[in-house]
């Protein structure tokens, strides 16, 4: 497998193989029991010897028991697969199930074919075994070890029984079976390569799609998240705040008199100012759940999940102070600018909208603009009962 699997997808492919093998093993277990029932039910009705019927009943019990044990192995593996393990679980439970079912079938074939009283079952056993070999190789092809275990456990006892039995041309039939199974094993190698090639292609396509989606959420100038991502993430965090009954805060900031910088120094220098401001602001946001985004033009937005108004105002003041202290060097000029910020906080309830929270932050931002710029204004702090406290001003 290591030669035909892209190392980047090793763990993902291991998990996918396990998922596919467990799904196919569930189907294989059902087919295994049905095939045995198709062989034995007519034989039980035809046989009158009590000892022979007892032997067939014991064989049937063995088939049912091993099928149940294999089912347990498959279910155990699926539980392991769904757990948050850092690595894909071992295929050992699946291999044990294959080993048991193949071994029991091979043992039953050996027993029945070496006892002349069950000679009438021989043709049905040959056909069923050939079918199980073909189906098993097709379904277990992703795992070379599973294929090898399965074939050896089924075919070796059958070949040994043919050599010892009195069936005409038994040796020729044994060699035909060996050649047939060898051919199937070689074909399984082609199936395996096609399987891994398809998985590699699927994972590459998924990776490229995720990369494109990631690029679609990035503002090309500043490298921050764009407005589309901001809106989708705000909707997600807002719903989470409703479920968990936690506060959520947002900060809207707008650079003061930025049009004058573009007019005096040109848009290229203005763009450099935006880039530097974005880098500086991002450094102040420490939590992975917090989002800084370019909201449009020289306006930026910050999402602060599980943050009350007091802490949101502290973050806003750090941002304001950082921008105020920044200096952009351009030739003999030193460019400095400030920002106005609006903060809104809410503990949302079912039926509330995140758009209302944005509008409240926007109104607070424009109050900051109208009250002298380079300052922070906070929207009215909402209380769940519907009462409103006085406006909180900072800076």
Catalytic residue positions, numbered: 298
Measured CA to CA, the distance from residue 21 to residue 212 in angstroms comes to: 31
Which token pair is 265? 């120094």
Residue with tokens 């070949």: 159
Q: Return the number of other C-beta atoms located less than 10 Å from residue 56's C-beta.
A: 20
Radius of gyration of the chain (CA): 35
- d(CA 140, CA 154) in angstroms, rounded, equals 14
């Amino acid at each position: 497998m290591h030669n035909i699997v892209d190392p980047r997808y090793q763990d993902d492919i291991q998990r996918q193989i396990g998922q596919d093998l467990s799904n196919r093993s569930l189907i294989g277990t059902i087919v295994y029991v049905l095939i045995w029932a198709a062989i034995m039910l007519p034989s039980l009705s035809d046989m009158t010897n009590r000892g022979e019927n007892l032997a067939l009943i014991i064989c049937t019990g063995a088939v049912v028991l091993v099928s149940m044990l294999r089912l347990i192995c498959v279910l155990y593996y699926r539980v392991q697969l769904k757990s948050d393990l850092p690595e894909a679980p071992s295929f050992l439970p699946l291999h044990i199930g294959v080993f048991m079912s193949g071994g029991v079938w091979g043992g039953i074939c050996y027993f029945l074919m070496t006892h002349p009283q069950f000679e009438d079952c021989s043709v049905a056993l040959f056909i069923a075994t050939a079918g199980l070999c073909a189906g098993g190789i097709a379904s277990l092809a992703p795992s070379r070890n599973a294929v090898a275990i399965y074939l050896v456990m089924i075919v070796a006892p059958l070949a040994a029984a043919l050599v010892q039995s009195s069936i005409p041309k038994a040796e020729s039939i044994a060699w035909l079976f060996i050649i047939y199974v060898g051919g199937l094993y070689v074909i399984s190698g082609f199936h395996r390569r096609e399987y891994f090639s398809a998985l590699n292609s699927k994972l590459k396509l998924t990776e490229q799609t995720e990369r494109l989606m990631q690029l679609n959420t990035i503002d090309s100038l500043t490298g921050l998240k764009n407005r589309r991502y901001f809106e989708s993430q705000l909707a997600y965090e807002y719903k989470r705040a409703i479920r968990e009954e936690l506060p959520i805060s947002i900060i809207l900031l707008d650079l003061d008199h930025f049009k004058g910088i573009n007019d005096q120094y040109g848009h290229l220098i203005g763009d450099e100012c935006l880039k530097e401001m974005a880098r500086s602001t991002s450094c102040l946001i420490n939590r992975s759940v917090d989002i800084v985004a370019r909201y449009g033009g020289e306006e930026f937005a910050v999402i602060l999940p599980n943050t009350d108004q007091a802490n949101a105002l502290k973050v806003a003041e750090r941002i304001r102070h950082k921008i105020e202290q920044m200096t952009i060097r351009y030739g003999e000029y030193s460019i400095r600018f400030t920002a106005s910020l609006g903060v809104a906080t809410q503990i949302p309830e079912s039926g509330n909208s995140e758009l209302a929270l944005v509008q409240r932050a926007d109104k607070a931002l424009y109050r900051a603009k109208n009250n002298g710029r380079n300052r922070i204004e906070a929207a009215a702090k909402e209380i769940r009962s519907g009462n409103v406290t006085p406006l909180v001003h900072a800076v």
